[in-house]
Structure 1
């Protein structure tokens, strides 16, 4: 019996010793985790239970010259469903899915109740945690959704999720749409939205959040919250009433002539403020004129007769003509190196003054002035054009300005036809805005001013920056 007792005691001793060794190992591991790896595991726990979320700022508005909103951010909701929400039970889902499908079909009128039920059931069976139900839901629709079967149970029991997003809206539709422009997620920037994006977008904020049961995140007010800084409002030079007139007048003339595209610009003479800018292009899909491209700024084209002012100014500056001088336009035809140039007036205008050459927009008269003044040294003509800055971009507030093309006598494409045809606006390219700037300088008693689309920046109604 004593042998048995000794054996039992021996085994108990071994077990006790083993337990003691195991306890020491566990205690050592605990101390190691606390003292050596403690900071690491605390940070891991923090990452799981707490996180910083970005608070997006409100994008600034784009305003007309009198403060009317041209473009603004309108809140909408993106509706999603967490079909694996902790409180969403199988019997709860199937109890409400029929009535929910009926309500959704009535609200959006885009699918039948059966279609909604089929899609919702499939998503539930797959355990979709972020199922997209609908984008661009407005606030009245959002309120109705919250009261629907299943959704009224909340995010934990009903899986309902509503993410607020903002969409950029142009409140006057197509009026100046291309000039107002847009930005995209892949950083494509167009028009005023793109040029002033750094001011409009504001600065993001940060909020520390704590995860609670049910995967609910609650903000922690620890004094380190960084509030977002909303974007500034951009005040443009655009006059809404003049923009409306320019837009519809341009559309009327394009329709009348069956033109593919056109533009219209209204500039305030002494300031250079662009009061209206319309760009319309015929869209074969919609069978209507829409704003797709900013022709006024972005496309360099042969200006045609509008360039005759340049020829007149260069000749007057050179001193080779006076407005009272007489030019013989004959029967309205002239030939240069075997190529005939004609006036639009049938039978010609005969002998007329230099002033009338410009008033009647005579091709023959203008080309004769250019050849008489500059044929011996065309470089003088080109230098005079350079003096008017027509070979330079205007450096506008928005991107995408077209580059002017002014030929030089040293160019391989220069020929005996270039000077006479350039004098009437061919073999040369400028943008409509560039040629308008020159005309505006004449109207402004010879003072050339830069076209301006942006007037000032405002924050909470106060001017914080002016543009000149």
Structure 2
């Protein structure tokens, strides 16, 4: 009995313990389910579900006319979930053969249909949910693959997963490559892409994905939060002018075997940068690897002499007809000899200041500055005069990496001011400036003294509509007096007409500018490598009504000359002439005497055509001529035929002709033709009587 009671007591204890444990477990389960349920569910989901960002489509970078410089090219990756919950076994096996056949065709049979079939079967058997099918497809290719058997059933029944991404595309290749720039992971943003990244990048979206093995697959082909496409920026870059500039620069660097070069074209009235080229010679050819135009401040050499002369003129210390002894091109300043490069200077004693500038006399300019600013503290006036012209400061262009120019403070120990600083600064040494900053200064001279901020972007747009517009900005309303500006313009024109750039004169278009040649290495490096040079030319055109300013700088030319007039000048001329030929508005109207509202009485064309028309309309034709080309003059009820003679070696006058006849005459003489408008030829870009040498003639028709 006692034993039985003892056993029952132990059983009751065990039951009680089990009951208490069960109650505790039930209570905890209820607590977790009711009170902490949402927290633990979220934690569980986080192990299998998460939100991932969806990159927004990047905005476009547009040229001045709206054409694309850089755009987002949509690309698609195709993946397959052969174990999708909505896919039946029957659907999978019924479509397996035809799907494999279509995929083999799409891959151009890199893999056979049997190989692809085995791959799909294996993926299903091993429980894969994220099998890669194709990468980087275009939209058209994606639509095609999505229509394949099984895939056409969609994500759940067909296992199709489509992932969109984008790739930056540049329709014009390396054109303006460094100016357009890039944004990359683990790299400093560059160019317009970097400066306007916040505008172009848009706003990323979110998509819910679930874990499937080692991969995460989207729960839906649609996003929970759709990405917002970036806005576009419209630049000032003109594709045609950019192409002209880059081509001329590359050819010049090749011809002179130079290390690198840069060229910029700016619109005078607005400061709009129409082209900016930076070309470096590499082992793999020619490439834009650095923006020298904006990011490199260098000693400019003789192009800086214009600023020195303008300081003297602005302070009314000289007239251009004053005389200066250039001492046959040799002068010693504090035991350091300064030598002129031109042979004419070495044969000249006394000449006018105007002539000394045209010949780019180092001795003449250095003596003038030293004579007028070399006593007492007057050097401070010269340095301040340079700053008043806008020199020594950044332009503030909307692109990263503009170099800080360097202009010494007079008598500053920190700046290493010495006895030769004043004469050396006056001719473009002991100070540095970027090509863009130099061009901004020259552009101000061309713009009658109004200093414009260089502009690269005119507006931010969305779907073709402007969101924000950036008008041209004036840095300084008047950089110098009209008196000084007029004389500076005259000096630059004189350099081309009768100075160091006289061999560059063009029969097509007038231009003004200044040559520059700077020695770039000193001391040990000079002894080791020999003298190296930087050749430059800066100016504007047409001289009488400047539309564009241009700077060209070429570093270390090793062949076919090294002076600015030999290296940078011809590149400048090529750019100027080709822009002039391409832009009809730069040409003077040839037939301004004709009134557009009245029909011309004279018709020009082939004689046989007029004879056929005369027979058809019963015209009374007179004039005994057997020439192929005639003009037909109307006289009341009769038509007079007058012979037109055209030399085979000269550009013919095709004004008044129909397009067919004009093309025949011009192309017969080896000329290329581009047209604009409809009707008869009203204007031609190359004046008749010019030697025909394969040029391109632009015709306006109306």
TM-score (normalizing by structure 1)? 0.80
1:217 aligns with 2:216: no
Offset at residue 395 of structure 1 (A): 1.4
Cα distance change, pair 302–202 in 1 and its aligned pair in 2 (3 A): same
How far apart in 1 are the matches of 2:230 and 2:59?
4
Tell me which residue corresponds to 1:190. 190
**Residue 318 of structure 1 corresponds to which residue in structure 2?**
315
> 1:20-419 counterparts in 2 under 5 A?
23-47=22-46, 51-78=50-77, 106=108, 136-139=136-139, 142=142, 163-186=163-186, 188-207=188-207, 217-218=219-220, 225-284=224-283, 286=284, 288-336=285-333, 337-346=335-344, 347-376=346-375, 377-408=378-409, 409-411=411-413, 413-419=416-422
User: In the superposition, relative to structure 1, how do residues 85 and 218 fare at CA in structure 2: closer, same or farther (>3 Å)?
Assistant: closer
Unmatched 5+ stretches in structure 2: 472-702
- Please, which moves more after superposition, 435-444 or 226-235? 226-235
Aligned to 2:643: none
Query: Does the 8 Å contact 1:343/1:364 carry over to 2?
Result: no
Superimposed CA distance per residue, residues 37-60 of structure 1 (whole angstroms, 9 cap, x where no aligned partner): 223123224435654343332211
Distance 1:189 1:254, change over 3 A: same
Gap change, CA 1:265 and 1:154, over 3 Å in 2: same
What's the Cα RMSD here?
A: 4.4
- Residue 177 of structure 1: how far off its partner (Å): 0.7
Q: Within the alignment, does 1:441 sit opposite 2:444 as a pair?
A: yes
Compared with structure 1, are the counterparts of its residues 447 and 156 closer, same or farther at alpha carbon in structure 2 (3 Å cutoff)? same
Asked if residue 464 in structure 1 is aligned to residue 467 in structure 2, the reply is yes
Q: What is the total number of aligned residue pairs between the two structures?
A: 452
Contact 2:161–2:221, Cα closer than 8 Å, also in 1: no
Distance in 1, matches of 2:132 and 2:275, equals: 41
Between 1:380-389 and 1:232-241, the stretch displaced more is: 380-389
CA distance in structure 2 between the aligned counterparts of 1:235 and 1:33, rounded to whole angstroms: 59
| Partner SS state of residue 183, structure 1 | coil
Q: 1:358 to 1:296 in 2, by over 3 A?
A: same
The CA distance in 1 between the partners of 2:360 and 2:82, in whole Å, is 74
Q: 1:331: how far off?
A: 2.5
* Residue 176 of structure 1, CA deviation: 0.6
Q: Which has the higher contact order (CA 8 A, sep 6+)?
A: 1
Separation in 2 of the partners of 1:191 and 1:135?
Answer: 29
Tell me: CA distance 1:147–1:460, structure 2 relative to 1, closer, same or farther (3 Å).
closer
Residue 451 of structure 1 and its aligned partner are, at CA, apart by 0.5
Q: Deviations over 1:341-360 (max 9, x none)?
A: 12323444443322222223
Alpha-carbon distance between aligned partners in 2 of 1:149 and 1:350, rounded to the nearest angstrom? 92
SS in 2 for 1:189: coil
Distance 1:359 1:19, change over 3 A: same
What secondary structure sits across from 1:218 in the alignment? coil
1:97-144 Cα shifts (integer Å, max 9, x gaps): x9899768747x8xx99xx99xx89x9899998787876444455567
Bigger Cα displacement from structure 2, 182-191 vs 274-283: 182-191
CA deviations 1:142-190 (Å, max 9, x no partner) are 5676689999999899998653221111211111110000011236211
Distance verdict in 2 for CA 1:101–1:457, change over 3 Å: closer
CA contact (8 A) 2:61 2:233 kept: yes
Task: Give 3-state SS (helix, strand or coil) of 1:280's partner.
Answer: strand
